[in-house]
Amino acid sequence: MCITKTIDLKKEYFGSFDDKRIYLYTLKAGFITLQVMNYGATITAIEMPDRRKQVNNIVAGFSSFDEYMKPHPYMGAVIGRFSNRITGGQFNLSGNNYQLSINDFPNHLHGGINGFDKKVWQPVAETIGDDHCSLSLTTFSNDGEEGYPGNLNVTVVFTLTNCNEIEIAYKASTDKATPLSLTNHSYFNLSGFVKPTIKDHELTINSTYYNEKNENNTSTGKLLMCAGTPHDFRQAKKIGSDIGQLHRDMGYDHNHVIDGFGQGVQPVAKLTDDFSGRVLEVQSDMPGVQVYTSNWWDGSLTGSQGVPYIKHGAIALETQQLPDAPNHAAFPDSILRPGDDFSSRTIYKFSLIK
């Protein structure tokens, strides 16, 4: 449903990092307020009303920049160069062996020690249109950074529409072949953390197969059928229904292969919270989505909602290339080459139960 309301985009000083100014951008359209900061190209808040017209922030984040300087699990950040894990931090490309930084022993995770989540992105454009507003941010990754080959230019554009959609569009180019998998790491609790966990949220995933993992939490290269397992979300079910069966991971931390990938933007997942009436639909042109239910949250972090973030307090739906793709020739190609322009879109569509 599209709503005719005033489109607005403002920025304010939020802090500094390495003598660079950090800004918090507030975008408003429809019934959504989106906040993004240029450190890590991070979504810090998504505010929307529930069925009772109570407005809440439905993503995990913090109210001050100083809190983002403390250790936290990638709250709302753009992840790169490569999301998820690369086995041993190693891959071979065009006959050359590459060793990436190890930051999740024994693997490379989410771009390494200083990935894109720790960069100060440069503002490129702020746009206000008749039915949308958008923010463009860009960053540069040097040849050899975290062990990756190639000088890489990356742009991310956040667009909020009066149809209550947030589109995240990624673009990139390189001068050497390099693995690339960009995603956003927002954690959603559609109750606005009024309910401390997402176990009662209903989830649907447009996926017949998921990636098998080994003892080091990386892909074996095999795809397993979701049917007959706790990972079967082809029909809507509560997240808490089978989560107790996943003892090793203490919850969901698995990548699903999206049915119909390769045909442009496809339905990925649908998340519904009956308590608040809020609904999130995710669409993307990426082949996979990592489903992570905050299994290691322990209440030690308190977010902008003023409540501790506890185990299973939120869910991340990370659209991405398949995990460890550079080491599995049968997976969709995740290598960006010189002369090619990478482009990808993920859309979050928000609504209320009718």
Percentage, residues of the chain above pLDDT 70: 100
pLDDT tens profile 97-108: 999 999 999 999
Distance CA 110, CA 102 (A): 10
Of the candidates 124, 135, 117, 43, the residue with the CA atom closest to the CA atom of residue 80: 117
Q: What is the pLDDT of residue 3?
A: 75
Tokens 């702020």 -> residue: 126
Average pLDDT for 310-326: 98
Q: What is the pLDDT of residue 5?
A: 72
pLDDT tens profile 63-110: 999 999 999 999 999 999 999 999 999 999 999 999 999 999 999 999
Distance CA 306, CA 47 (A): 15
Please check whether residue 46 is in contact with residue 192, taking contact to mean a CB–CB distance below 8 angstroms. no
Q: What is the pLDDT of residue 81?
A: 98
pLDDT tens profile 198-230: 999 999 999 999 999 999 999 999 999 999 999
Distance CA 139, CA 115 (A): 11
Residue 213 is encoded by which pair of tokens?
């993992």
Distance CA 176, CA 26 (A): 36
Q: Which domains does the chain have, with CATH numbers?
A: 8-194+289-352 (2.70.98.10)
In this prediction the pTM is 0.98
Residue 289 is encoded by which pair of tokens?
């989505």
Average pLDDT for 163-181: 98
Q: What is the pLDDT of residue 268?
A: 98
Tokens 């709302």 -> residue: 76
- Does residue 1 register a pLDDT over 80? no
Distance CA 17, CA 4 (A): 38
The residues carrying an active-site annotation are 185, 318
Q: What is the pLDDT of residue 126?
A: 95
The stretches of the chain forming alpha helices (DSSP H) are 65-68
